Amino acid sequence: MVRVTAVAAADSAAAIAAFRDGDHGRAVAELREPAAAGDPAAQFYLGLAYAQGWGVIADAARARDWYGRAAEAGYAKAQVNLALLLLDGEGGEVDAERAQQWLLRAARQGDGHAAHHLGLMYYRGHGVARDFAAARTWWTSGVERGDAPSAFNLGVLYRRGLGVPRDVGEALRWWEFAARRGMPEAQNALGAAYQNGDGRPFDLGEAWAWFRLAAEGGLAVAQINSQLVASRLDPTAMARAEERLAALRASLVAPAPP
């Protein structure tokens, strides 16, 4: 195993800070030395740069290589990202079995995203037998670690009655968990619940606030929904809805950095 020196670790920290600040070109240049010295965080961010084309020409094969080095060193985020490349066949062959193994390793370290993707494998029957109960188990594990997509997907199970009794109230409870952690799809789902009085009291102002929040998160259908609801609100109701939107923005749980 390569020993990472204190100097390499310090260089890696500075490069990662530049990466998160959006200075990708400088970050990539500064990541190379600590990554070559064996620093798994530097290897992960270099893999991320190649995967996204941030500061370099996108290259999934190089991303897979750098993620692989960090994954072997036990870096959970790299294990998850490597698994996703293996599942999609980006940068090499599809290998669902290896992907599942990497996700399991990351999930056992407490990574919520790994639990989410394991749940998706079972939900879709992707590389494993389709099993809604197993999907629910992994998504529950993801929620315990604060993962918003896991909560949203639990809501889908309850909404549709897949492997659990159909329960709209329970679905909305999970969607609100995801919505308050910034997931536009969950915010839009809550808006629809208030718009239709489905599992939540009919409230067009509350519906508009959730739709608008989802639209600000980039969800195109929520933009349309917010406009349709706005056309049904008088000026007084619109003012109250805007106040509610401001309160919702302030209540969101800040996402973790990449």
* Residues with Cβ within 8 Å of residue 108, at least 6 apart in sequence: none
pLDDT given at position 9: 56
Contact predicate 19/45, CB 8 Å: yes
What are the phi and psi torsion angles at 13 (to 5°)?
-60, -40
Residue 1 reports pLDDT greater than 50: no
pLDDT given at position 6: 47
Residue 136 reports pLDDT greater than 80: yes
Cα 254 to Cα 66: distance, rounded to the nearest angstrom: 28
pLDDT given at position 16: 87
C-alpha triplet 86, 54, 77: angle, nearest 5°:
45
Average pLDDT of span 91-111 = 97
Residue 229 reports pLDDT greater than 90: yes
Residue 8 reports pLDDT greater than 60: no
Residue 99 reports pLDDT greater than 70: yes
pLDDT given at position 11: 65
Two tokens, residue 186: 């969950």
Cα 140 to Cα 207: distance, rounded to the nearest angstrom: 27
Two tokens, residue 131: 């099993």
What domains are defined for the chain?
Answer: 8-93 (1.25.40), 110-178 (1.25.40.10), 182-253 (no CATH)
Cα 116 to Cα 103: distance, rounded to the nearest angstrom: 9
User: CA separation (Å) from 68 to 16, 26, 85, 223?
Assistant: 18, 23, 11, 39
Split at pLDDT 50, 70, 90, the class of 15 is confident
pLDDT given at position 171: 98
Cα 251 to Cα 247: distance, rounded to the nearest angstrom: 6
Other Cβ atoms within 10 Å of 182 Cβ, number: 17
Maximum Cα–Cα distance across the chain: 67
Cα 71 to Cα 140: distance, rounded to the nearest angstrom: 24
pLDDT tens track for 59-96: 999 999 999 999 999 999 999 999 999 999 999 999 99
Calculate the CA 58 to chain-centre distance. Answer: 21
pLDDT given at position 72: 97
User: CA separation (Å) from 90 to 221, 227, 254?
Assistant: 29, 39, 30
When the pLDDT of each residue in the chain is averaged and rounded to a whole number, the result is: 94
pLDDT given at position 77: 97
Residue showing tokens 């909305």: 172
Split at pLDDT 50, 70, 90, the class of 186 is very high
Q: Amino acid letter at 36?
A: A
